[in-house]
Amino acid sequence: MFIKRKQEETPEKVYELKAVEIWQCPECIGWMQKEFSTAENPVCPFCSSSMVAGVREMNVIVE
């Protein structure tokens, strides 16, 4: 017998506001997370300015 079972128990995703280290562009809104960049002195992908280190508060999923 085929029992159709609806998945109702979706695991709850918990978000937490966390300060994340980023590179940000001083000339435009461009920024990237440091952990996704291996460059020591990255340049903005939009305007090619040198990016500066900063911190941004982001919602990250806590498992």
Least Å distance between CB 18 and Zn ion? Answer: 24
Burial bucket for residue 23 (CB in 10 Å: 0-12, 13-18, 19+): buried
Least Å distance between CB 16 and Zn ion? Answer: 28
Q: Which residues contact Zn ion (rule: CB under 5 A)?
A: 25, 27-28, 30, 44, 46-47, 49
CB of 48 or CB of 59, closer to Zn ion: 48
Q: For 13-38, give the DSSP string.
A: PEEEEEEEEEEE-SSSS-EEEGGG--
Least Å distance between CB 4 and Zn ion? Answer: 51
